[in-house]
Every structure is written in C-alpha cells, then in structure tokens.
Structure 1
Amino acid sequence: MKTVVPTGNSRSLIHRLRALAVLLGLALAATTLPAGTASAATVAQSDRGQLVSARQVSTLATKQDVAAALAAVGFDTGTVRFGVDAYQLVYRTVDPEGRPTTASGLLVLPRSREHELRTVSFAHGTASYRYDAPSSMTKVGFVSAPAITYASAGFAAVAPDYLGLGAGPGPHPWMDVPSETTASLDMLRATLAFVPRTGRALGHGVLVTGFSQGASAAMALARTLQAGGDRWFRLEAVAPISGAYDFQHAELPALLDGSLDPKSSVLYTAYLLVAWNRLHHLYDSPGEVFQAPYDSTIAALFDGSHTGQQLLTGTPNTLSALLTSHGLDILRHPTGPLAAALRVTDSTCDWSPRVPVRLYYARADEQAANANTDHCEAALQSRGVNTPVVNLGSPDYEGSRHLGSNVAGTAAIVRWFSQLH
C-alpha cells in the first residue's frame, strides 16, 4: 500500500497525493496454485529463470554516493559500506495459467571485494503503473531504496518487479499468489545465471523480506524455498514488513468499515475487483459492482499504463461513491471464486518455518490493518513457531505510518540480516 492518511492540512494532502501517485501497495501472496490452473512446475522447468537480457541501469560508485542517494529519499544510511551497481534483468517465467512469459527485476550488487555474496530477496509493495517497478527506476526512489540499502551493506539484493510491471508484458495480475511466487523464485534463478558475468558468485542461502504486498510475497517465497522449490537456493531467514496476511478477515473488513484511509480503500478495492475479475471472473459487467461513471473507466485505469496521479483523479474519494450495493455485498460476504481466491491469498502464514522469522509492523498503520500481523503470528504459533513481532512504533514518511514502516523496517532488517550467519 502506498497511500497516506489525511491530517487536515494542505501539506499533508500534498504528501498523500505524492505518495499515492508513486505507488499503491498491499500485502498478498501464497504458494499454492488455485484449482484449475496449470502447474507452473510442469511448464518448461529448465526455461524458468533463464536470462533473456541484462543491462546496467545505474551506478553509485562510492559509499558516499549511496549515502547521499538514500538520504535524499529519507532512508537510513547507517549501514552503508560500499558503492553499488544496479542491473535490470529480464527472464523467463510463467503466467497465472502456467504458460511461458517473461518478467523483469532489479539486481543490485555491492562494489565490495567479496567473491561469494549472500542474497537478499526484497519484494516491493504493489505498483499500478508499470514504470514504478524497481528495475524501471532511473534513480534511487522509495521503491528501489531497500534494494540499494541491502546491496550497500554487502548483500546481492534481488527485487522482482512481478508480472506485468517493469519490462514484463501484459497487465499486472495484482495479488495473484502463484505468479508472485514464481516470478520471485525465477528472478533468483536469473540472478544466479547473471552474477558470474560480473566475476562474482552467489551462495546457497537467501534472506527473504518484503513490504506491504511484498510482505506476503516474501512469506510465499520463503515457504517455497524451505520446501525445496529450487535446487540451489536455501532459505536462511524471513522478515516481512506491514503485510495484509489475512485479507478476508482482517484487511478487507478494515477497508470496508472505514478503519483505514478512505482513498486507499477506494484504490485497493477497485484494484482487487478489476485484477481478480481478469483472473477469476467475479462479474460479467463492471456495472454490476461499480457505479457510473466509473463502471466504464475503472478497468482501463488499472492496465499498467496509467500513473498514480491518473488513478487519483479518476476515482472517487469514498467506497459508497465507487461500488454498487452488489459490489459491497460480495466483498462483505465472499462466496464462489472470490472466496476461493481469498483462501489462497490468506495462506501465506500457514506453514512452519525452520529458520529465524520476524514480523515487523507500524502501530496504527493506516493502510495495512494491524490485525493482519496478529493473525499471521497466531497462525505461526498454532504450528509451534514462536515468532518475534517487532513494533516499529509510529514511523512517519510523508504523513504515512505505513510508508514509514518500510523505511524503519528496512533499517532494522538489514542490521538483523547482517548478524545472521
């Protein structure tokens, strides 16, 4: 989620609009394929993760350059040790039906003398505009700063764009559990293929993290790695930030009852219905769930070519102005394909990690209801896993605690990962 709660003054409103225009983020993912889809594992396994192209997108030659770039976007600079080189990788993967496609991602390497590097996989919050993806950034910004942070601390930092963002074709299948997982895993494989070209190598271990949408994507990737989803990579630790791990029972009710930022609720609910109708056929006509005039415009807004600012101006400020009574009803009482998809989305904490795990959150998050973290902790505890939950307090980033949790969480996690061996 990438919105900001309004505070009643014009400066906060400007900050909220700026943040919304850059990114929307929400945490969703898992590792099981919905019934009826082709198994990704059966589709040209040898082709998945195959590198299609690689290009260097930026260099911050010294640690001073990195520190200046991170400070400019409000990220902590205390762990910066090296300059970095950043690359966009395009690689082969599979779509939600298990058919071959391509995706892209950002790889950032430290300018250190270490030959074998430890890997951090960072999953970003949801983007609506394809060029807001990590690998499309021409300079350090909110979405790429975590990867820069981890690489400058000495890690090989991998940040998948997901499907349909960056250089990947088609619309982004937002909140689609299988493709978030396969795109993340295959980005690791593409990185393994590319890194030797730089004279470096990757070790087996992967430290997994992610923010907002990427929090659940991180949990899903971690579960897949622990289950032996790849012959090279092994899970070492997982540390998600501000996820919506229980979308049906924690996040969706908070979006609908006004507990969260109203404009965020409009945008995420619209994105959910549009993206999941493409995947799961929730309605025959937009007019069934969206009120006029939005029923004729809303789907196009989420085609990947519209900016966050266009989404802001093209949507109402309240759910009551966006949704029909039927649209509200199906979200309040999910059945059929919607209920089935939610079960997949909400399964990311339903496993037993055998590695260190920490859950990070901000108090009174205005976009990811805190109940999500509570539910994830409870799910892990029910499987015998006592997970430390780290309260980041009330970090502020342009008026948003949610965005602030990404900044504060990244600073905390890079230090924790650096202590693990």
Structure 2
Amino acid sequence: MTEFLSTGARRMRRARERRVTAGIGGAGLMLAMSVFLTGCGGSPDAVRPQSADIDRGRLAHAEHLRTFSTEDVAAELANEEFDTGAVRFGVDTYRLVYETVDPTGGVTTASGLLALPSNGVADLTAVAFEHGTMATKAFGPSVSDHGGELAATITYASAGFAGVTPDYLGLGLGPGPHPYMDVPSATTASLDMLRAARTYVTGVGRTLRPEVDITGFSQGGPAAMDLARTIQGGADNGFRAAAVAAISGPFDLTTAEFPALLSNSLDPTSAVFYSAYFLVAWNRLHHLYQSPNEVFQPPYDQTVEQLFDGSHTEQDIVENLPTTLDALLTPHAIDMLRNPTGELATAVQIANGTCRDWTPQMPIRLYTGSKDRDVIPDNSAHCQTSLREHTPDAQLIDIGDVNHMDSGRKGTAAAVRWFTELVASK
C-alpha cells in the first residue's frame, strides 16, 4: 500500500482521496505521462537510449515542479501529519528523468524527486530517501502532488539538505512494471538518481558534497541499507555513505516477515495486498509459477496479475482482493513462502542479505514502532544482530507504541534531527 498513510484499507482510501482531491487522479496523470512520452518519441520504450552503452545516471530531463515557502512546507507536513519541527527553509522541487538499468542489466529510464532548500547555500549534503510499498505509477514521488513520500523528502530539504527520492523502476514515469521488493534494482535506480541529482545541482550553480545520508521506510529500509553498502564498496567515488537511518524495514523475510504473515500476525488487508504484489512481481523476475492458478485461488487467479500492472490504485486493488490470506493463496503458495526453495530461496537470501556479511563504516540507526502490524519489529532486531557481528555502531531505537504509518512519520522526524546533528558536529 502507499506508505505513510494508514494501515489496511483506510490507508489506501486516504491516499486515493487526497490525490484525487489534489487533481492527481490516475487518469489525469496517465494522460500527462502519455504527453511526456510522446514528446520523447511516442512510447515508453522510445524514451530509452538506443545505444548499447549504458550511461548510468545520465540526466535525460528535468522539470521544476513547485516552490514551497516555509509556510507551505509546514502546511504540507501538517496535512500529512508529519512533524514540522525541522522546518527552516522554503523548498523547490524538481522531477528528474535519468538513464539506469533494469533487473536484467538492460538500458531503461527512471524518474525521481529532487528537493532543494531555498537557503542560498551552494554546498549541500544529500539525503537519499528510499520510499515504501507503492503499486500505482501515478503515485510515484515525482508525479504526485501530495503524500508521505513528498512530505518526507521536503522534510529533509527544509532542514537544509538536498532531498533525493527515486521513484524506483516502473513507478512515476518509469516504463514497465515495478519490480517490487527487488533490492538490487532499487539500489541501481537509487545510485543513478543520486548521479542525476548531482548533475542537475551542478548545472544550477550548487554542488552535492561527497557525504550522503541515507534513509528508507518499509520497503525502502533494505534498499537504504544496500545503497549504503554499494556506495561504501566504491560504486561511485564521488559519493560516501555518511549515515543510515532505516525505518521499519522488512530485513528478514525468512524468519520474521513471512512467519508473521503466515501466522496471521499482520494486518489482514496488508497481508493480502503484500502477498499478492510480492508473488506477481517476483514471478516476473524469478518465474515462480507457470500459471496464476498454481498460487492464487479462484477467481483471483484470473485477475490478480492485471491488478498490479501499475494503472490501478491501491484502493481498486484492495476492493478486488479477498479479505483473508487463505482465500487468496493456494496451499502450494503458502508452502512456497513457508519453505522457499530453488530460485525463490536464492532471491529471498539476496533480499535478506542487506544487513549481513559487510562491515559498515558509517553509523546506523534502525527505527521501529512496537505496534507495527505491517512490518514486524523483529525484522529490525534481526538486522541489528547481523550488523553487530561486524560493527558496534548499529542502534535499534523503539520510537513508541505506534503503527507502521506513524513509525514512518516519527522515524522521519528522528532521522532529520540525527542527520542535522551529524552535519553540525563536523
């Protein structure tokens, strides 16, 4: 579901109502996307570079979206129930479209949101924000006028950072379906968004410092961790991972999230949504089944794949799914999740591996809410245990008796305070 809004169907309904009220209904934005793509050649594939050489992070298009005064920022954050305590500057937002790679290494494009503070400072520290679960292209951070993803991004920018938020592949103006929960492609899209942001910022007479603070919520938690690991590994010598703040991330599918899902410990609406999205997306990537009826009960086996084509709102999807996991999944699917084997097991190990087998050279904070029934706190606890096998500088912070939505809001407020303290201490 679109994160930062609420649990279950109420979250999806609020997301849809707010965006429709703001004039960003799915049909209107899909028309805008069509116009954009037509201007670049007439189809999603036409915006892809035709050369076999991949110039990762090459900025293909930039567009100024909106100027926020400090009062506008505070109002936007208050409307999304975010903390306004870090608001210091006005903000300008931009949509960037850039070259990157798809999960097979082929050339594609992606879009993302850049937010810059109106503070006159030329040298900026970037905060790379990895957003949570999203199934609707038109709700991508760079194409939606409102929402938690925008609120988080401008929280960092108003505090004096450059907010850099990738839509990920297949969301926003990105062609094709979104490879949900695929950490490697989230990482490549995020690193290349940082490169595109660096190019744009340089072009307007400002610079991004090498130090990058990295944060992520929910699905974005493992993406943030892997981005930090990838930058530390030398993927781009112009960046250095300075700190990581990961909020309520599903770091351990095998021994935390899947068991909670299958024991009915998660919010039922969320559990059904996540399971359907996960199986459809990972089948595209890893060929988990030959026919939908192997994993989805009738009549959903006839419709579920189409629901996750990027054009349906989360509300539409929920209304066309059952209310219980048993009504959605076949016994074979449940067994697949309980005991992953073959290619699924290999892919799950990659998803589980972002906290393992590396030695972070930056401080890490893991934020959780004790009443989270979307991503259970054990995920972050297991992540901390793995990280502390290599570094003592990984803190687990309980931000209170809050649900998934509020852990994102409170985690963002805690992260921006921490990042500000780190910059001030240098």
Q: TM-score, normalised by structure 2?
A: 0.88
Distance 2:149 2:155 in 1: 11
Secondary structure of the structure 1 residue equivalent to 2:149: coil
Higher RCO structure, 1 or 2 (CA under 8 Å, sep 6+): 1
Match of 1:317 in 2: 323
Secondary structure of the structure 1 residue equivalent to 2:323: coil
Match of 1:59 in 2: 67
Contact 2:360 2:391 in 1 (8 A): no
Superposition pairs for residues 394-405 of structure 1, below 5 Å?
A: 394-395=401-402, 401-405=403-407
Aligned length: 388
Superposition pairs for residues 36-51 of structure 1, below 5 Å?
A: 44=53, 47-51=55-59
Shift of 1:14: 4.3
Q: Deviations over 1:126-176 (max 9, x none)?
A: 2100111110112x3212111000000000110000000000000001111
Contact 1:22 1:308 in 2 (8 A): no
Contact 1:254 1:260 in 2 (8 A): yes
Match of 1:202 in 2: 208
Contact 1:135 1:166 in 2 (8 A): yes
1:359 partner amino acid: L
Match of 2:86 among 79, 87, 91: 79
1:18 partner amino acid: R
Shift of 1:17: 4.0
Match of 1:18 in 2: 14
Q: Deviations over 1:19-76 (max 9, x none)?
A: 59889xxxxxxxxxxxxxxxxxxx845x00000000011111x212211121111111
Contact 2:257 2:375 in 1 (8 A): yes
Superposition pairs for residues 136-155 of structure 1, below 5 Å?
A: 136-138=143-145, 140-155=146-161
Secondary structure of the structure 1 residue equivalent to 2:394: coil
Contact 2:7 2:404 in 1 (8 A): no
Q: Deviations over 1:216-248 (max 9, x none)?
A: 100010000111110211111111100010011
Contact 2:123 2:207 in 1 (8 A): yes
Shift of 1:198: 2.2
Distance 2:292 2:381 in 1: 34
Match of 1:406 in 2: 408
Superposition pairs for residues 52-201 of structure 1, below 5 Å?
A: 52-60=60-68, 62-138=69-145, 140-201=146-207
Distance 1:212 1:183 in 2: 17
Shift of 1:5: 4.8
Shift of 1:199: 2.1
Q: 1:181 and 1:170, CA in 2 relative to 1: closer, same or farther beyond 3 A?
A: same
Secondary structure of the structure 2 residue equivalent to 1:204: strand
Superposition pairs for residues 318-337 of structure 1, below 5 Å?
A: 318-337=324-343
Contact 2:80 2:148 in 1 (8 A): yes
Secondary structure of the structure 1 residue equivalent to 2:230: helix
Distance 1:250 1:337 in 2: 20
Give aligned-pair identity as a percent: 53
Q: 1:114 and 1:245, CA in 2 relative to 1: closer, same or farther beyond 3 A?
A: same
